[in-house]
Structure formats: C-alpha cells, structure tokens
C-alpha cells in the first residue's frame, strides 16, 4: 500500500509507542530534531519504491536527511532540486553478479565507468559504487587479483576527478549467494593491493553481521578502508530498533570514534505501514 508523505509524517506520534518521544511537530522545513552533526545521514532509494522520488525527497528534508543514494544520472537533478545530494551514485550498468573479478568484463566496465565518472563529477557528487561479482568457482586470491587489474584504470580515472570508487561488502549466505566480496578482510586486502587512496569499501552493517559479526571490532580494525556505511536490521533487513539483534547506537558511536566524516545511509525495508515514520526512527537512533 502506498503511504503518502503527508500521512506518514502526520502519524509520527506513533513512534512514541516505540520509546521515541519528544519529536517536535512537523512543519515546513523543520526536521524532527536538531541533528548533532556527527553523522551525515543518507537513505537508499530502493526500499521506498512505492513512493515517488519527490515524496522521498520531501520526507528526507523534513527528517533532516541530506542525501538520497543509489540513484542513476537522470535522478540526480531531482534530489538536487530539493537541496539534497546523492552520497553514493549507481554504476552503469548496475550488476551485483557480474563485476570486476571477471576479466572478460574489464573493457566494458572501463568504458562504462569512464563515461560515468565525468557526469558524477559535473553533478558535484563524490562516490560511485562497484561490485566484485560472483565467484563462479574462482578462488578468492584470483578474484582479488582480477579485481585489482580491472579496477586500476577506473580508480585512477576517478582520481583525476576527485572521486572515490567504493566496492560494497555483501553477504553470500542469505541475499547474494556466491558473491565474492563478502568479508571485510578480503575487501581490505583488495584496497591494499590496489594501493590507491580513492578506492574504499562500502561497509554494509546488515550484510557483515550475517557473514562475520563482531561489527564494532571490525570497524575499529578496518575503518581506514571504509568510506561509507549502510544500515539494516538483523534478521530480516527491517527496522533497526529493538526488534532486531544489533545495537545501532553503539555501532554509530564506534563509527564516530574512528573520525569518520562520510555518510551513513538507512537501507532497511520498513515493515511499518508508515514508512517515513520508520525512516525518521532509524535516523534518530543513528544520530549519536
């Protein structure tokens, strides 16, 4: 069921039942609370497919979110019209299963990224997502070597434009069977092999809790390689409140303690009918 922004924001009072009391009433460009400024808040577009991008932009403005991400080039002007940015741009074409670990795709990926990179820079954006691809029987060391070879010209081209290429860590246990970049250590190893400062990891907390757990210690160890974070409740990838197993407040505090200055994006699938109420709740939890 499609929930309008107006209805969702009107029903924010329902959050009080979840223990989040004291939001000021919404009105004009007023956010739910004065942000503390330690976390830059973003939200991924895809969980809100029943809402228009414009509705999501308006809700983001009300909540205090400054970015809507995983958008294609034709969508960037829409968010910018609302004074928002896109903290993580999609690659072209978007594929999680076919990526830089396959040498047969290197030339096409180079062409696609070389075409995209100037557009991202012209739009004033800073980060572009990429993926390792599936193993398809390939040993992890060979996959890392292939990724490094394919990524090197792309990352160097991005460097010319002041952009960062970010490979996302995904779980291969539940959501993305056979995906190769499924452990933080492997991703960090790829960063070291490339040795280029503008290649980093997109650390998805939901995915890495499923694959390896030990979230805070992992962030503390590997934070120099991480440029971006995604959230999601475990299990189920729903709200990040007390209904799931992760303590997101503690995780965010650990992220802040590393000196991180990038974005944290909400990427959970709301179960609540008032999807923007859930989004505001997630931002409140993460605003440490």
Residues 6+ apart with CB under 8 A from 221: none
- Nearest-10 Cα torsion for 44, 45, 49, 51: 110
Parts of the chain with a pLDDT under 70: 1-33
Residues 6+ apart with CB under 8 A from 166: 88, 127, 128, 129, 130, 199, 200, 201, 202, 227, 228
pTM of the complete model:
0.89
- pLDDT at residue 16, rounded to an integer: 33
- pLDDT at residue 33, rounded to an integer: 52
- pLDDT at residue 93, rounded to an integer: 86
- pLDDT at residue 2, rounded to an integer: 38
- pLDDT at residue 92, rounded to an integer: 81
Quick: pLDDT tens for 50-90: 999 999 999 999 999 999 999 999 999 999 999 999 999 99
- Nearest-10 Cα torsion for 85, 89, 90, 91: 150
Of 236, 219, 241, the closest CA to residue 228 belongs to 219
């Amino acid at each position: 069921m499609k929930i309008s922004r107006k209805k969702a924001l009107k029903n924010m009072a329902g959050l009080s039942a979840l223990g989040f009391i004291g939001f000021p009433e919404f009105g004009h460009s007023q956010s739910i609370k004065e942000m503390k400024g330690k976390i830059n808040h973003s939200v991924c577009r895809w969980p809100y497919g029943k809402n228009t991008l414009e509705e999501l932009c308006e809700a983001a403005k009300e909540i205090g979110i400054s970015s809507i991400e995983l958008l294609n080039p034709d969508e960037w002007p829409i968010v910018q019209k609302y004074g928002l940015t896109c903290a993580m741009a999609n690659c072209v074409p978007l594929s999680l299963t076919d990526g830089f670990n396959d040498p047969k795709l290197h030339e096409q990926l180079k062409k696609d990224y070389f075409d995209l990179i100037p557009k991202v820079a012209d739009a004033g954006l800073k980060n572009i997502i990429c993926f390792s691809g599936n193993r398809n029987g390939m040993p992890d060391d060979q996959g890392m070597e292939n990724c490094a070879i394919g990524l090197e010209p792309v990352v160097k081209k991005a460097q010319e434009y002041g952009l960062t290429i970010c490979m996302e860590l995904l779980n291969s246990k539940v959501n993305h069977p056979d995906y190769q970049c499924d452990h933080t250590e492997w991703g960090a190893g790829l960063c070291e092999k490339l040795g280029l400062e503008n290649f980093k990891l997109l650390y998805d907390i939901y995915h890495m809790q499923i694959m390896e757990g030990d979230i805070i210690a992992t962030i503390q160890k590997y934070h120099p390689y991480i440029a971006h974070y995604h959230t999601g409740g475990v299990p189920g990838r729903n709200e990040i409140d007390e209904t799931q197993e992760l303590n997101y407040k503690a995780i965010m505090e650990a992220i802040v303690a590393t000196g991180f200055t990038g974005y944290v994006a909400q990427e959970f699938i709301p179960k609540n009918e008032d999807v923007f109420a859930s989004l505001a709740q997630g931002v409140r939890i993460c605003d440490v």
